[in-house]
Amino acid sequence: MDNVSRRAFLKVPAAAATIAAPAILQSQSPGSELRVAFVGVGNRGSYLLRHMLRVPGVKVVAVCDILEDRAKAAADQVSKAGGSAQTYTDYRKMLDSRKDIDAVVAATPDWTHKDVYISILEVGKDLYGEKPLALNVADGKMIVNAAKSARGLFQVGFQLRHDPARNAAENFIHSGGIGEVLMCHGMRHGGDLPRNIPWYFDKEKSGDIVVDQGIHILDLFTWAIGSHPERVMGSGGTDLFVNVPAGRTVMDNYNLIFEYPGGVRVNFSHHYFDPPGFTGIKERVFGSKGAIDLITGKWQPRESREAIQLDIPNQGKDSTYMAMEAFADSVRNRKKPINNIDSAYVSMIVPLMGTKAIYEKRIVTWNEMIA
């Protein structure tokens, strides 16, 4: 998303916008052992940990969760992989006592991101933090400020950018392979969210399903287009899982239409009552020369009936593993991640725009979101 970050649309406070990338100043010798800590080792965090333990040259030295049994389970996971990790229930105490930590992977619930991320960045650690950046623009700007002035680099958890097929497809788009991008069409149709994670169903804690879940596909489309949307319209609600589970405040379906500069549009449908195997997930980008399927890395020229399979480096590798490996590589070699603070800020605002349009039943613009 480098072409996006070069444009002056972030409109974060001037202090953040004018600071060059100090993260590159901190050094980590290539090939040296990377000492990593984990904050939040529940559902997503334990999955990230499992993959990070497979990355060569990484040593997980500490794990933290407010639930002691989860921290212990994570430490056991490290032990089974041949390592040893100290357990904590307070990430601030961990950061204060373990000066040997090089980098932190944080996978705490969405509403906690601002406090957790800023605390980690302020002590100079490299950070991998799960999406979304924040649940509102004000908090997002605060995190951007912290990241711009921090010694450590910040990779945000849009792991689908590292999925081999999707990454190859995006590179093909950016090289001009499909010509001028005209439209994107996406669907995320499946079953409901895991009922054993209550905060998923509280829109005050998750930002609702556009922000917590739909954000992944919207991020891929924004990356493909290379700009931010100018306006959005949408409709959605809860039609099947009314008060299921009890107290539910998040939707179970919605549809959005985004308009980007130059008339490029994104059509996105997302619901949780899809029969098994009926529609599923679709991510397609249409251009002047043809269209490409991001999930498979196949593109279809407009002038041919034969689809062309792209060459896909690392084909078959898990996107989360690839994201963990990329983070370790970025830390060692001081490389700007492809899912960096600038792209993550844009990809936070996009679903916030959509959610606002649905709730308020009106067209919402980019400019009003960042004002």
| Each residue's pLDDT expressed in tens, for the chain with a length of 371 residues | 444 433 433 444 433 333 233 333 344 555 579 999 999 999 999 999 999 999 999 999 999 999 999 999 999 999 999 999 999 999 999 999 999 999 999 999 999 999 999 999 999 999 999 999 999 999 999 999 999 999 999 999 999 999 999 999 999 999 999 999 999 999 999 999 999 999 999 999 999 999 999 999 999 999 999 999 999 999 999 999 999 999 999 999 999 999 999 999 999 999 999 999 999 999 999 999 999 999 999 999 999 899 999 999 999 999 999 999 999 999 999 999 999 999 999 999 999 999 999 999 999 999 999 99
Q: In what order do the strands lie in the sheet with 364-365?
A: 308-309, 298-301, 290-293, 281-287, 181-189, 265-271, 253-259, 231-237, 364-365
pTM, whole model, 2 decimals?
0.91
Residue 245: asked if its preceding bond is cis (omega within 30°), the reply is yes
Phi-psi region of 231 (alpha: psi -120 to 50; beta: other; left: phi over 0): beta
Give the type of residue at 135.
Answer: L
Domains and CATH numbers, the chain: 2-159+320-340 (3.40.50.720), 161-313+350-370 (3.30.360.10)
Tokens of 328: 């370790």
Tell me the three state secondary structure of residue 227: coil
Residue found under tokens 């619901």: 271
Tell me the three state secondary structure of residue 162: helix
The shares of helix, strand and coil residues in the chain, as percent rounded to the nearest 5, are 40, 20, 40
HEC-encoded secondary structure of 167-188: HHHHHHHHCCCCCCEEEEEEEE
